[in-house]
Structure 1
Amino acid sequence: MRKIRLFIASSLDGYIARESGAVDWLFTDCDYGYHQFFDEIDTVIMGRKTYDRIFELSDYPYADKKGFVLSTTLHGQQDKYVEFVGYNLDNFVKTLHSSPGKDIWLIGGSEVIHLFLKQHWVDELILSIHPKILGSGIPLVVNDQNLEMELSLTDVTTFDSGLVQLVYRLEP
């Protein structure tokens, strides 16, 4: 069965982007396992805000992957890169999990991550913590007192830059 993997970076204080959505604080001096991870996936899932933000930063970088964007307003539509999905998400995720192929990358953003965590759809979390404190921004995990889960640490990698990459298996 394919895994849904959340491969993401955060600041030490838990933010995945500045309040503006900017990620200019991320280290770019090293690959940090990204290329190996990218070769292990063939599908990407993201939220509509994240999808729109990608085009503000660069060309679409996932053209060789099957892409899905969560959006109720565009559900059932597609463009040259992605299909938009907004309804029957439980069935959508079950179908993706059981279909043949490589793993699936849950890119973000925060609202989509929250939904996938709350529904227990994430199988693995790869978190690269940058040794920076932003003080504010878009949080990795939305504040939700009903969102409690157990994770099992499966790997830790440290880098000379001070970045620490943690890999967790999420318990069902």
Structure 2
Amino acid sequence: MRKIVLFIASSLDGYIARVNGDIDWLFTDQNYGYTKFLDSIDTVFMGRKTYEQVLTFGEYPYQEKKSYVFTKNLDFSASYDVKVVTDLDTFVNDFRLLDGKNIWLVGGSLLIRDFLNNNLVSEIIISVHPIILGEGIPLFANPNTTALQLTGCQTYSSGLVQLSYDVTA
């Protein structure tokens, strides 16, 4: 069965973006394992708000990958050959059985919560940036208790710390 991996950046106080969705605080001075991770996946899953935010960055960055946007809005349509999914449970359980590489759970926090609450996440890789935002969009929006096993910790000269966990329950 294919693994779903949450690969995401967070401020030290647990935010993935500013209140308005801006991620101007993210470090871009190094690769931080992004290219290696991108090579390990062939599919991206993201929520509608994350998808809409990604579109403001310029050209769609995941054109080489299969992309799926999860939404409860039945009238939502996507561009860039992105598929829209409205039934999370059935779709994800069936999709994980297909041949392929790992699947990247891009975000946002509500979709992360739904995936965690349905025991769909296999691994979490969080790049913690040494900044306190004070407010913003939280990484975790009231998920159920989820047990994790630390599998790696990488530190960088910038102060960024990348933590890797297997989801154990």
The normalised TM-score by structure 1 is: 0.94
Distance 1:73 1:149 in 2: 28
Distance 2:52 2:140 in 1: 21
Q: Specify the SS of the correspondent of 1:98.
A: coil
The 5-angstrom pairing of residues 117-128 of structure 1 reads: 117-128=116-127
Match of 2:168 in 1: 171
Match of 1:52 in 2: 52
Q: Deviations over 1:49-99 (max 9, x none)?
A: 111111112210000100100012247966433110012x21211112111
Match of 2:147 in 1: 150
- Name the count of aligned residue pairs: 169
Distance 1:80 1:156 in 2: 35
Match of 2:140 in 1: 141
Query: Quick one: structure 1 residues 76 and 22, their matched pair in 2 at CA, closer, same or farther if it must change by over 3 Å?
Result: closer
Match of 1:40 in 2: 40
The normalised TM-score by structure 2 is: 0.95
What is the aligned counterpart of 1:162 among 159, 163, 166? 159
CA contact (8 A) 2:44 2:65 kept: yes
In the TM superposition, what is the alpha-carbon distance from 1:2 to its structure 2 partner?
1.1
Unaligned segments of structure 2, at least 5 residues: none
Q: Specify the SS of the correspondent of 1:36.
A: helix
Match of 1:5 in 2: 5
Q: Specify the SS of the correspondent of 1:31.
A: coil
In the TM superposition, what is the alpha-carbon distance from 1:149 to its structure 2 partner?
1.3
CA contact (8 A) 1:44 1:105 kept: yes
- The reply on whether 1:109 has 2:128 as its aligned counterpart is no
Q: Specify the SS of the correspondent of 2:152.
A: strand
Q: Deviations over 1:132-159 (max 9, x none)?
A: 0000000000135xx1111000011000
Distance 2:80 2:12 in 1: 36
Q: Specify the SS of the correspondent of 2:56.
A: helix
Residue type matched to 2:21 in 1? Answer: G
Match of 2:128 in 1: 129
Q: Specify the SS of the correspondent of 2:69.
A: strand
Distance 1:93 1:31 in 2: 29
Q: What stretches of structure 1 move > 6 A for 4+ residues in a row?
A: none
Distance 1:74 1:109 in 2: 19
Percent identity, please: 52
